[in-house]
């Protein structure tokens, strides 16, 4: 099968970094048409810079990286330096990127790419707040039926929330954008906390990256070490969830995952539960299913894939 053409929409973030590395290390499965940065974990000035740092680390400075929206559609930006550090990529020191930012706005790139490729041939992979994707849909509704699929990291049902008691970070930051995307009619696969909390960076799994003896392997080990401290303290878990790489792993090896087609709606009104992904897991309404909501993963298989691919870089 020809590699799947994707756009990664991202707010790096250490787990975003691992997702991007996994995609760039997998040319037989994935062709990265471009990376679009959005404000999220840290402000846009840092996410677009971090995306370029990651491409250079992967030895792919020719990758096109675009800067997108610097604030959510209707709200003030909420960031997550308490998880990712001041730069968003805290942990190991990395040099400032040499590769340039691509000219033009990320939203225009998303629109033009979907218009210029055959309908149904480009998959969108959002792993940050959905501001760029929703803006593209609002500005150019003709692109919606041209999207092959949206595979995103966001939301939760059984795990409920990580930034508030009832909301996951990516959805909480821009709930209006998430609402537009979930109502769009595009085919959507969701990697919620219910599945990402099952792919934990245990000691032996991090050591496998370190043992590669490569610059990238060491970086991944140190990033996940940094990122992990917060989650271990918070959840008392064995390690940190590698949220965003689940999106890319799904594209490469969907058999590692399973879930249910359900209706998902986004809470945009309540102060108490803002950004909640209300998933009709038990089918108690007659609301039509609009997303494949993943909740199970073969974590050992996931890390075997990740380790093999990162080892190539």
Smallest separation (angstroms) from ligand BDR to the CB of 18: 10
User: Beta strand 122-126 with 4-10: parallel, antiparallel or unpaired?
Assistant: parallel
Query: Does 243 sit near ligand BDR (CB under 6 A)?
Result: yes
Q: At residue 277, what are phi and psi to the nearest 5 degrees?
A: -95, 105
Which residue, 72 or 146, is less far from Ca ion as judged by CB? 72
Smallest separation (angstroms) from ligand BDR to the CB of 128: 6
Q: Tell me the window of 167-175, 182-190, 212-220, 230-238 that interacts with ligand BDR (CB under 6 A).
A: 167-175
d(CA 305, CA 22): 9
Smallest separation (angstroms) from ligand BDR to the CB of 212: 23
Considering CB under 6 A, how many residues would be counted as binding ligand BDR?
A: 15
Tell me the CB-side half-sphere exposure of residue 208, using CA atoms within 13 A.
14
For CA atoms 86, 159, 168, 310, give the dihedral sign. positive
Query: Does 192 sit near Ca ion (CB under 5 A)?
Result: no
Q: Tell me the window of 66-74, 116-124, 131-139, 162-170 that interacts with ligand BDR (CB under 6 A).
A: 162-170
The residue whose two tokens read 């000219």 is 103
Is the separation of the CB atoms in 97 and 49 below 8 Å?
yes
Q: At residue 164, what are phi and psi to the nearest 5 degrees?
A: -130, 170
d(CA 152, CA 128): 8
Query: Does 241 sit near Ca ion (CB under 5 A)?
Result: no
Query: Does 223 sit near ligand BDR (CB under 6 A)?
Result: no
d(CA 94, CA 180): 36
Smallest separation (angstroms) from ligand BDR to the CB of 41: 5
Q: Work out the burial of residue 77: count CB atoms within 10 Å of its CB; fewer than 13 is exposed, 13-18 middle, 19 or more buried.
A: middle
Kindly tell me which residue out of 6, 13, 106, 125 binds Ca ion, with binding defined by CB under 5 A: 13
Which residue, 13 or 91, is less far from ligand BDR as judged by CB? 13
Distances (CA, A) of 213 to 55, 276, 310, 312: 19, 42, 11, 11
Site string for Ca ion, 111-150 (x = CB under 5 A): ----------------xx----------------------
For CA atoms 70, 71, 73, 78, give the dihedral sign. positive
Query: Does 166 sit near ligand BDR (CB under 6 A)?
Result: no
Closest by CA position to 244, among listed 7, 76, 3, 12: 12
Which residue, 243 or 309, is less far from ligand BDR as judged by CB? 243
Smallest separation (angstroms) from ligand BDR to the CB of 193: 7
Smallest separation (angstroms) from Ca ion to the CB of 13: 4
Q: Tell me the window of 9-17, 93-101, 142-150, 249-257 that interacts with ligand BDR (CB under 6 A).
A: 9-17
Chain positions 275 to 304 lying near ligand BDR, rule: CB under 6 A, are none
Tell me the CB-side half-sphere exposure of residue 299, using CA atoms within 13 A.
16
Q: At residue 280, what are phi and psi to the nearest 5 degrees?
A: -85, 65
Chain positions 17 to 46 lying near ligand BDR, rule: CB under 6 A, are 41
Task: Look up 243 and say whether it is catalytic.
Answer: yes
Residues binding Ca ion (CB under 5 A): 11, 13, 16, 127-128, 244
Residues binding ligand BDR (CB under 6 A): 13, 15-16, 41, 80, 83, 127-128, 153, 162, 168-170, 243-244
Residues labelled as active-site residues = 243
């Amino acid at each position: 099968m020809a590699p799947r053409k994707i756009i990664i929409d991202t707010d790096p973030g250490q787990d975003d970094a691992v997702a991007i590395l996994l995609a760039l290390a997998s040319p037989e499965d994935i062709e990265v048409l471009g990376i679009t940065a959005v404000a999220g974990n840290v402000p846009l000035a840092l996410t677009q810079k971090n995306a370029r740092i990651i491409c250079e680390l992967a030895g792919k400075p020719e990758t096109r990286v675009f800067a997108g929206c610097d604030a959510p559609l209707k709200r003030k930006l909420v960031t997550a330096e308490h998880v990712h550090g001041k730069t968003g990529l805290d942990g190991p020191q990395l040099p400032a990127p040499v590769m340039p930012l691509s000219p033009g706005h990320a939203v225009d790139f998303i629109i033009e790419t979907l218009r210029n490729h055959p309908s149904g041939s480009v998959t969108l992979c959002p792993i940050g707040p959905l501001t760029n994707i929703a803006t593209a849909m609002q500005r150019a509704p003709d692109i919606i039926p041209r999207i092959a699929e949206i595979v995103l990291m966001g939301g939760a049902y059984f795990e409920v929330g990580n930034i508030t008691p009832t909301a996951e970070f990516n959805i909480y930051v821009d709930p209006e954008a998430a609402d537009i995307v979930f109502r769009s009619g595009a085919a959507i696969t969701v990697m919620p906390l219910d599945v990402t909390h099952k792919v934990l960076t245990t000691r032996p799994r991090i050591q496998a990256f370190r043992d590669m003896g490569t610059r990238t392997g060491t970086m991944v080990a140190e990033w996940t070490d940094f990122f992990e401290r917060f989650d271990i303290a918070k959840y008392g878990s064995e390690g940190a969830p590698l949220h965003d790489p689940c999106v890319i792993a799904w594209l490469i090896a969907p058999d590692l995952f399973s879930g249910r087609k359900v209706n998902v709606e986004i809470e945009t009104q309540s102060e108490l539960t803002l950004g909640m992904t209300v998933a009709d897991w038990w089918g108690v309404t007659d609301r039509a299913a609009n997303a494949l909501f993943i909740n199970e993963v073969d974590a050992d298989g996931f890390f075997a894939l990740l380790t093999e691919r990162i080892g190539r870089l």
